A and B are shown apart, each in its own frame.
Chain A
Amino acid sequence: MIKMSYREAVRSALREALRSDPRVFLMGEDVGRYGGCFKVSHGLLEEFGPERVRDTPLSESTFLGAGIGAALGGMRPIVEIMTVNFSLLAMDQIVNNAATLRHMSGGQLSVPLVVRMATGGGRQVAAQHSHSLEGWYAHIPGIKVVVPATPADARGLLLAALREPDPVFVFEHSALYGVDGEVDEAAAPEEIGRAAVRRVGDAVSLITYGGCVGKALQAADQLATEGIAAEVLDLRSLRPLDTSAILASVAKTHRAVIVDEGWRTCSLAAEVSAQIMEGAFYSLDAPVGRVCSAEVPMPYARHMEDAALPQVAGIIGAVRETLGSHG
């Protein structure tokens, strides 16, 4: 076990994949010479050469589509889209090709493509650069979506994604790249579709993912000082969702608050809430709460951005509300 940052963990996984499988290659904007916009692929071009680490022009649609074609042709491409914000330019290739080619061809094709994207806000980069659209991707049948929140998962889920025969979208919250954690570089890949309980509790289930896991844990720490033992469930995978883990937690705590950086309306939190309602209705002692981003394009000014994003105080407030007079 070594302590390393999230970005180092991703890099470690990329390096391991490039070394062990000649079919793997990385392509995206500034992944080579620049070393990656978030410095994730720093050094990889030097180590593996320009055939394996390819800088692309600013053509999201085409280089993601080329990733699809290369996957069809027997390669295992890792396409890096700088941020989820720019992935909108490639939505047609994602939804109409990556997610559908297997089905439209009657099962003849598989698209073993991995797409990595940075996501999330909180760095004052304003409305066009701060989206959290993981919920949109989780909506689409035919692809899988993972959201590692720790360095160990950043490595483990990426390696797992590379073993999938179908497209996997990996969302890396930009605020996590510098966060440190313990990583076992010999560990086996993680399993896609399994959530992890980050903190055991019995008063309320804080269900969250990605950049909000840390905030949920902080909220849980504070609540613990008041005698409220919150359980924190890190989803790790948004499609498929680990429904049984969600229901098991709620069966125990009887209360749930979902923390999701997407906008509240039609969010992933709404899906989790619906699943809890369907599967654990009779276990609930209170309505399911949601802490999400406010219904506003991300503002630039610091205090406004902070007000727009889910925060620890908001999570604590939601927990108190769900506990009602018990809290």
Chain B
Amino acid sequence: MPILTVDMQAGTLTAWRKRAGDAIKRGEIIAEVETDKGLIDVEVFTTGVIESILVQAGETVPTGTVLAIIREEAGAPVSVTPSTPVQPVPVTPPTARPAPAPPRLVAEVTGRVRISPLAKKVAAELGVDPASVRGTGPGGAVTREDIERAAATRPQAPARPAEAPDRQARMRQLIGAAMARSKREIPHYYLGTTIDMSQAMTWLTEENLKRPVPERLLAGVLLIKATALALREVPELNAVWRGTEAAPSPAIHIGVAISLRGGGLVAPALHDADRRSLGDLMTGLRDLVRRARSGGLRSSELSDPTITVTSLGEQGVETVFGIIYPPQVAIVGFGKVVERPWVVEGRIEARPVLAATLSADHRVSDGHRGGLFLAAVDRLLQEPERL
């Protein structure tokens, strides 16, 4: 089917002027085709005999479809014709240079934060200092989301009772917005496993007997340390999402979810959790909880975590599937340690067990890797003395 008009993509062969077996000469009209411009005659460019007709009158076919086979006469002038009719598109040209970027101001007048007007407005409403916020917008500009995220993870100063409901409401709103966005944008997958905590709990009891009361360890730090060490084995869960891909974080800062009186949640960082002793982690955790509840957290502590651990064991929850805090790419959940029947060498025993879960960003990791992570946590908790 020849291309007969400017944008022709297909044509209807309305009538054949010749039949199979007919001799045809170059320039003769061989068929009629209906196009969007009307009926157009189709001429033939070779001399010979029609061997077979492949498309019948009345059929509509795309341009380039073979309509008939012509056996060219030996000795008939054969013109050089490119072999295949193609929709000519230049062979993949090198990627076009993008349109020159509009000129941008290179240097800002000093003292001016690079922040969008909308973000500035929201910052004023929420009382966030734009200078303290890390911007994720174009050229590092501070965006509305940056402000909201900073506000959501910022502790509320103890509010006067009259004000408290408003602030709480606002914070709920911001957390809600951040969580909604997380759910909207991050393809979460969820894995869960049950870990036999008998070794860990036994060891913890013995260890705490050796410690003065103020220095006693909570089970939580075991979980945090195990998580941190397991992340060394599966580092892609310890990454930062940068808009189109994740960048691995060099350090492991565990964000510990701490609930606040009156509602709300913060998850400040325990820095370098993989490299600290359990005692040190415990001290750090105590300090974070105290300052979280008194409003003394630093903004860097709120923006530094590379992964979050949430533990709702104290509330009696057995399994928790968390929502990832962007720009993190995973969140680990631990439930309550409970006594459950456990199979040991073919017999049923009561063992203290714990449900550990992983909610992870499927753009960055898959179930296989997630599974390896949980398996590592389990394995590490079986040798608590080495944490």
Contact = CB atoms under 8 A, between A and B. Distances in A.
Interface of A: 243-244, 247, 251-252, 275, 278-284
B105 A280 contact: yes
Contacts of B114: 282
Nearest to A244: B103
Interface of B: 102-105, 108-109, 112, 114-117, 139, 141
A283 B102 contact: no
Nearest to B113: A282
A203 B30 CA distance: 77
Contacts of B102: 243, 275, 278-279
A243 B102 CA distance: 9
A282 B141 contact: yes
A25 to B, nearest CB: 38
Looking at chain A's contact residues, the main secondary structure is: helix
5 contacts: A247-B103, A251-B108, A251-B109, A282-B114, A283-B108
A282 B103 contact: no
Nearest to B101: A278
Contacts of B109: 251-252, 283
A122 to B, nearest CB: 34
Given A243-B103, A278-B102, 9 more contacts: A243-B102, A251-B108, A279-B103, A279-B105, A281-B116, A282-B105, A282-B114, A282-B141, A283-B109
B105 A251 contact: yes
Nearest to B142: A282
Contacts of B105: 247, 251, 279-280, 282-283
Contacts of A284: 117
Nearest to B141: A282
Which of B102, B108, B112, B141 counts the most A-chain CB atoms under 10 A from its CB?
B102
B88 to A, nearest CB: 19
B147 to A, nearest CB: 15
Nearest to B120: A285
A244 B103 CA distance: 7
B223 to A, nearest CB: 44
Which of B105, B112, B139 counts the most A-chain CB atoms under 10 A from its CB?
B105
A282 B114 CA distance: 6
The 9 closest A-B pairs by CB, nearest first: A278-B102, A279-B103, A282-B114, A251-B105, A279-B102, A243-B103, A279-B104, A280-B105, A247-B105
Contacts of A278: 102-104
A258 B290 CA distance: 56
Contacts of A252: 109
Contacts of A244: 103
B123 to A, nearest CB: 14
A26 to B, nearest CB: 37
B106 to A, nearest CB: 10
A88 B115 CA distance: 45
Contacts of B104: 278-279
Contacts of A279: 102-105
B258 to A, nearest CB: 35
Contacts of B103: 243-244, 247, 275, 278-279
Nearest to A252: B109
A310 to B, nearest CB: 26
A277 B239 CA distance: 34
Contacts of A280: 105
Contacts of B139: 282
B122 to A, nearest CB: 16
Nearest to A284: B117
Contacts of A275: 102-103
A235 B139 CA distance: 29
Contacts of B117: 284
A282 B139 CA distance: 10
A317 B342 CA distance: 81
B25 to A, nearest CB: 38
Contacts of A243: 102-103
Contacts of B112: 282-283
A272 to B, nearest CB: 12
B251 to A, nearest CB: 31
Contacts of A251: 105, 108-109
Nearest to A281: B116
A234 to B, nearest CB: 20
A278 B138 CA distance: 12
A95 B332 CA distance: 65
A284 B141 CA distance: 14
A287 B130 CA distance: 21
A90 to B, nearest CB: 29
A284 to B, nearest CB: 7
Nearest to B114: A282
Nearest to A275: B102
Contacts of A281: 116
A278 B102 CA distance: 6
A283 to B, nearest CB: 6
A251 B109 CA distance: 8
Which of A252, A279, A281 counts the most B-chain CB atoms under 10 A from its CB?
A281
A145 B141 CA distance: 36
A281 B142 CA distance: 13
B54 to A, nearest CB: 41
A197 B377 CA distance: 67
A247 B141 CA distance: 18
Contacts of B115: 282
A48 B325 CA distance: 81
A284 B120 CA distance: 12
A318 to B, nearest CB: 19
A193 to B, nearest CB: 13
B302 to A, nearest CB: 25
B142 to A, nearest CB: 10
Nearest to A243: B103
Nearest to B117: A284
Contacts of B108: 251, 282-283
